[in-house]
Amino acid sequence: HNGSKNLRDIFPEPPFDEDVPDCDSLGVLGALPGMIGSMMALQALKIIIDLPVGVNQMTLVDTMKWRFQTIDF
């Protein structure tokens, strides 16, 4: 989106490969990618039909406690 930032604005240096967990070793619940994908698709549709969307925001999803937190940056 015009004027939006990216993760490098928050984390200028990428982590070392050995410090990044992966789904192969930790696993991922099957419904999670579908849930996040649906949320992303909704945001894309909002942009396409020119509805307001949050800019320079990141949403954290804690599925264990079912909490959603939006961080402005």
Of the candidates 23, 29, 48, 60, the residue annotated as catalytic is: 23
Name the β-bridge partners of 67. Answer: 62
Active site residue 23: yes
Phi, psi for residue 26 in degrees, rounded to 5: -105, -20
The amino acid sitting at 23 is C
Question: Quick check: 62 and 46 in contact, CB under 8 A?
Answer: no
Catalytic residues: 23
